[in-house]
Structure 1
């Protein structure tokens, strides 16, 4: 069985199927039409879940490091699937307001996601290391598979709205099936053999204690990758409002989602033979260049016609997918290589998730302030890009001064 599903095949399936690929596109409408929840109630549920996630990320990471990562991964993924199945049948089980039941299910699901968070990345990287191959092979495979996933996400995102129009629960059902496939593949990942390394660990106990202490260079790496993740996710939420504010027809948005996802695949084909050369310093420099390039959107003021507006927006937004590639396609490799000698690997991944979520929350809060001041989504997007660019500059200067990059 291990020969049928080696690390490469397991990683391939995990990377090409993004989490919640289908439901994400229609999530707000799903909560409104199927669960009969207003947008304010949806926002309250998401906000409370985010707060709960911040509280449990690091404790659940510690549990995985302390006991068994594979077991925690199976429990977390399995319980999440059960939560989604209950959510699927909830309107038939309970009459009346579903706010409290949905809140309970989503909070429980958030806890299970936190329990499984980071475990797969640690386990699959350890599985890869057993073959004694160069670590750059893992990064190249991971990035390449991620680009294929972008193609699938582009197609699935486009068809999700079509499926939703036929039957509102179809996108969620497809996502549940994908999660079940990923869960089954988890059983083919070898369990950690902690006891076989007991003597080595005892012998190097003093060195291990020193390695397990958080150092500023590792924190800088986690912060840098979390900021890139924050930039990618925060700016993505402004794509549709920007297009709407420019009077571009809404159906263009579906086309844009396909283009920006396809852009990831194109970038990977271009960078395929250079991915292994990337360092954190190069990621920051390229990201800064991409953020500066967003200023091209100012030219839309001098151009008329929806098609030309859309053409410029598609190019500019597609360039932003480079940062998404860095933050989601390569972050696992950078973190894994930085913590290869640590015992608290899942805790470190949980710490990274906590930092990323805190920064993302702060970004949305700041975005609301900027939007209230400008009352223009395009200017909000440009101001946020400028703020992120300034943060990258400060981060790069500080990192270079401390020799972290």
Structure 2
């Protein structure tokens, strides 16, 4: 059995404290949303493992936090569920990370001669520091996540015309806030006046905060890798032996980041609006095929990293399983698990006007047959005790500081807009 080498700080992009502090305020500030009613933190909250505790999130137009978030009312109500589960933000500043989003639609590449292959193509802003900064610009201009609907605000209207028309509008909001302007000129040497601030600078600050706040390699497993044989319990060690041995989990969850950064079709129970290829008339989620346009990539999704996975329920690209045991068992027999799955396992706040869409794909027998045919079994059938041991090992991936963070939640933000506080408050 070969274990990965330990992670160290050198595996992650370094950040400046002033830039991380600035990014913290922007992360919790609703100023970056079209209607100024939602922040990055709304769907990536530290009390929920940097997710939202839902299978499919309730974005722009919703009210509240986490599993108690409601879909809104009247003209402000949501028009669509977020198509995929809000992923955790752990270790996204790793130097070796080369692809992001469940379907891999953002990656390090020179496809458009700007360093990235992204949905913005050649219109991606210049000056982005890293892959995480490139990722940060997209939720800001996603209609159902943060931008809002056309005719509701100028950001949403601009996105409807062309994606890069919206970023300068958001940038102007930040530029014209005196507190933000002062912090940007202090944090970035190339910014001498507020007019110098760009959306790339905003995204770079957001990435600096996420790297500083959620870089995590202080779990019992990390201590074990570093030489402390007593760091894990016997059942956790048994689970590790299975994970890196006969269970074959490490075939995909490989390396120090515990991901091969590749795409695999696991046949998770489908629901929600999904993400399809352009002009696709079906309610479904085609996975990586939506990016690659290759049939062999149909229904395949990126292997997630696993640090702090015990904090990030529900599990899967659409949050189909509420427990680690459920998602582990699915890997053993996707076909059987799909038949046994029930909609009650999905954490979906009731949205009556979207109910007809939520499970529409199950009525399409041909589509369901295609999804079943694409699924692969990636783990051998395990005994109950072995499943329990693997779950125990996954719980040993929780960092000592994962629940406390470093900078935490600010008491206020420069815009003066409400801040998403502790969910327990």
TM-score by length of 2: 0.25
* Higher RCO (Cα < 8 Å, 6 or more apart): 1
User: Which structure dedicates a bigger proportion of its chain to helix?
Assistant: 1
TM-score by length of 1: 0.26
